[in-house]
Structure formats: structure tokens, C-alpha cells
């Protein structure tokens, strides 16, 4: 007898029936940027098709996300004014908190309203935490601000807060603060394995980053995976409801290891550089844009991610039918 695996590939219907991995819109999260003072959406040159939104346009984008059946929208704020402490992050009148409230008022519980819980967009030095007198990121002083920021975001209407600064102990401090403020139901999506990656480049344009230096003292070394597993264990022990691997495509081994190791849901972020590379190659006619984008999303799901942050989320929902 000759084995003929090709029998199961002979038609679209057959391939669909035996497909081992599927992507559903409910597994996709759309990252969105909202800019203080913007009067109309502003294109982001390095991320074709992605914009800095106004409050009104981010509300409409979130409505479209809900109608498309997406799992969530992750909001990032772009303030007009920054300072060393990142004061706009905790200010109820700051752009991110205002946008969170407006989006929650519009979509209610039809889509998860998620908040980036980090200071890098709000600090004049561009780091994810406050600096000490030697210009080093002060881990414990930063934790106090993260706690305040997470409570402000929950109060504004966030279903999910996403601490992404890679500060030691951030999940435990945020969980304690949320519970003390009466937000026991707010979910923590912990960026447990976030690498100091070159793939973040276009994102820096998107949030008008003021970064001086780099983040290698607190984001992870791309050479390491056991370190990620340690970080995941620590975050889960501190109360993380979900964990994130970022970036996704060049770190699928980390996604797979995370999914095997932990019982909490694993998310992965198809970051700005990954998106930009697909867009640039497709614009040259070198690859098929839709097929490549969907193949990338399938690969992230196949590795074990239950949720994917992707700038293709709305389009992919349409492609997936």
C-alpha cells in the first residue's frame, strides 16, 4: 500500500475540513493609537494604512472592531506634552484615559477595551519608567506609578490592562492596587516575554517616542528563552490572567514554550516591524499581501497563541469571512 497524504489536500473543502489550526476574529486584537490634539487621523509613514487617531475616530474604529467580531482593541496614547514622570499616564484627563472612557461608552462589553499600561509614550526621555539620579530606570519608583496608572485606566473603563514595561514585580503591584480600588474583575495581560527588539522601530514613530538610549536593561535579550520562562512563571505567580510574548514571528519558539508551560492564555503581538515588512514587500509586488498576512497569523496561532495583537485585525476579520 502506498500512503497518499495528498488525498487530504485535493480541494478547498477537504483542506478546510482537516485544517489543524484556525484563526477566528474573536482571537484578534487591534492595536490603535490616539493622539492628543489631533483634528483628523494622521498617517504613520512606516506603517501604511495605520494612523494616529482622534478620539472620535478611535471610537469609530472600535465600533468597527466590535461589529467585525474582534476580541479586543488595545489603546496607546500619544500626548502633546511629556515630562520626566509621565504624568499624562495617570491624569484622568490624559489622552489615553479620555479615549478609554469614550471607547467604553461606545462599545460597552461588545469588544474588550484594553489599555497599554506603560510610561514610554508619556515620558520626555522615552523610557518605560522614571529615572534615578544616575539616569537609570528606577524599578520600584516606577511600580508605584504603574499601580496608579492601572487604576486610572480601570476607572476610565478598561476591561484589560497591559503592563508592558518589564519592571520586576509589576503584575503583583498592579493586582494589589486594582483589587484595593474595587476593580477585582479587571484582567491583567502581562507582557511577560518582551524582547529588546529591532522590530519595534515603526512603533516609535507611531507614538512619537522620545527615547534616549535603549531598553536593554529591562527588556529581554533576544538570545535568551529560559529567561522568558522564568519571567512567565513570576508573572503568573503574581496574578497575571494572561501573558504576552512580543514580538511574535521571530519568537515563535518562545510562544510555543509559553503555551506548553503555563495554563493561562498566551497572547502574542505581531509588532510594527513585522507588519511593515509585509507591507513593504507587498507594495513591491514581491509577495501576495493577503495570503502572507494570513499565513503569518496562522503561524502564530499554530505556535500556541490564543490571542494575537495585529494591525491586520480588522482586515483579517473580513478575509476570514
pLDDT of residue 1: 80
Rounded Cα distance between 145 and 188, Å, is 16
Cell 539616569 locates to 135
The tens digit of pLDDT for each residue in 143-183 reads 999 999 999 999 999 999 999 999 999 999 999 999 999 99
pLDDT (average), residues 269-294 = 97
pLDDT of residue 122: 95
Question: Is residue 210 pLDDT above 80, yes or no?
Answer: no
pLDDT of residue 249: 95
Q: State yes or no: is 82 an active-site residue.
A: no
pTM: 0.96
pLDDT of residue 111: 98
The tens digit of pLDDT for each residue in 221-254 reads 999 999 999 999 999 999 999 999 999 999 999 9
**pLDDT band for position 60 (50/70/90)?**
very high
Burial of 160 (0-12, 13-18, 19+ CB in 10 A): buried
For the chain, give the secondary structure using H, E and C. CCCCHHHHHCCHHHHHHHCCCCCCHHHEEEEEEEECCCCCCEECCCCCCCEEECHHHHHHHHHHHHHCCCCEEEEEEECCCCECCCHHHCCCCCHHHHHHHHHHHHHCCCCEEEEEECCCCCECCCCCCCECCCCCECHHHHHHHHHHHHHHHHHHCCCEEEECCCCCCHHHHHHHHHHHCCCCCCEEEEEEEEECCHHHHHHHHHCCCCCCCCCCCCCECCCCCHHHHHHHHHHHHHCCCEEEEECCHHHHHHHHHHHHHCCCCEEEECCHHHHHHHHHHHHCCCCCHHHHHHHHHHHHHHHCCCEEECCCHHHHHHHCC
Mean pLDDT of the chain: 96
Given phi > 0 = left and psi -120 to 50 = alpha, else beta, which region is 307?
Answer: beta
Q: How many residues does the chain have?
A: 321
The tens digit of pLDDT for each residue in 84-122 reads 999 999 999 999 999 999 999 999 999 999 999 999 999
The tens digit of pLDDT for each residue in 20-37 reads 999 999 999 999 999 999
Q: What is the rounded radius of gyration, in angstroms, for the C-alpha atoms of the chain? A: 19
* Annotated catalytic residue, options 85, 215, 246, 301: 246
pLDDT of residue 77: 96
CA proximity to 74, closest of 36, 104, 115: 115
pLDDT of residue 214: 85
pLDDT of residue 141: 97
Rounded Cα distance between 206 and 74, Å, is 14
pLDDT (average), residues 43-54 = 96
Of the two residues 273 and 210, the one the predictor is more confident about is 273
* pLDDT above 90 as % of the chain: 92
Rounded Cα distance between 253 and 300, Å, is 10
245 near 304, Cβ under 8 Å? no
* Annotated catalytic residue, options 82, 125, 175, 194: 194
pLDDT of residue 15: 95
Question: Is residue 196 pLDDT above 80, yes or no?
Answer: yes
pLDDT of residue 209: 78
pLDDT of residue 206: 77
Q: State yes or no: is 246 an active-site residue.
A: yes
Amino acid at each position: 500500500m502506498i500512503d497518499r497524504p495528498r488525498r487530504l489536500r485535493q480541494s478547498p473543502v477537504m483542506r478546510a475540513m482537516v485544517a489543524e489550526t484556525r484563526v477566528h476574529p474573536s482571537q484578534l486584537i487591534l492595536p490603535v493609537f490616539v493622539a492628543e490634539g489631533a483634528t483628523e487621523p494622521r498617517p504613520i509613514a512606516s506603517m501604511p494604512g495605520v494612523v494616529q487617531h482622534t478620539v472620535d475616530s478611535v471610537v469609530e474604529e472600535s465600533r468597527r472592531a466590535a461589529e467585525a467580531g474582534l476580541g479586543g482593541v488595545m489603546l496607546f496614547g500619544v500626548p502633546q506634552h511629556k515630562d520626566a514622570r509621565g504624568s499624562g499616564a495617570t491624569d484622568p484627563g490624559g489622552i489615553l484615559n479620555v479615549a478609554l472612557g469614550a471607547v467604553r461608552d461606545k462599545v460597552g462589553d461588545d469588544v474588550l477595551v484594553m489599555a497599554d499600561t506603560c510610561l514610554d509614550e508619556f515620558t520626555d526621555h522615552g523610557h518605560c519608567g522614571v529615572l534615578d539620579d544616575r539616569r537609570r530606570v528606577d524599578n520600584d519608583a516606577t511600580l508605584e506609578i504603574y499601580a496608579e496608572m492601572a487604576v486610572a485606566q480601570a476607572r476610565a473603563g478598561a476591561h484589560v490592562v497591559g503592563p508592558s514595561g518589564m519592571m520586576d514585580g509589576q503584575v503583583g503591584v498592579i493586582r494589589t492596587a486594582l483589587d484595593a480600588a474595587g476593580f477585582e474583575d479587571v484582567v491583567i495581560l502581562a507582557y511577560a516575554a518582551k524582547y529588546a527588539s529591532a522590530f519595534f522601530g515603526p512603533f516609535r514613530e507611531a507614538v512619537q517616542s522620545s527615547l534616549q538610549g535603549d531598553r536593554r536593561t529591562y527588556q529581554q535579550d533576544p538570545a535568551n528563552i529560559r529567561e522568558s520562562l522564568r519571567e512567565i512563571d513570576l508573572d503568573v505567580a503574581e496574578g497575571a490572567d494572561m501573558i504576552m510574548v512580543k514580538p511574535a514571528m521571530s519568537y515563535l519558539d518562545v510562544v510555543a514554550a509559553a503555551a506548553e508551560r503555563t495554563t493561562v492564555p498566551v497572547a502574542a503581538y505581531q509588532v510594527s516591524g513585522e507588519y511593515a515588512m509585509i507591507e513593504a514587500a507587498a507594495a513591491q509586488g514581491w509577495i501576495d499581501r493577503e495570503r502572507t498576512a494570513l499565513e503569518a497569523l496562522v503561524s502564530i496561532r499554530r505556535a500556541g497563541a490564543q490571542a494575537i495583537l495585529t494591525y491586520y485585525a480588522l482586515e483579517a476579520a473580513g478575509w476570514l469571512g
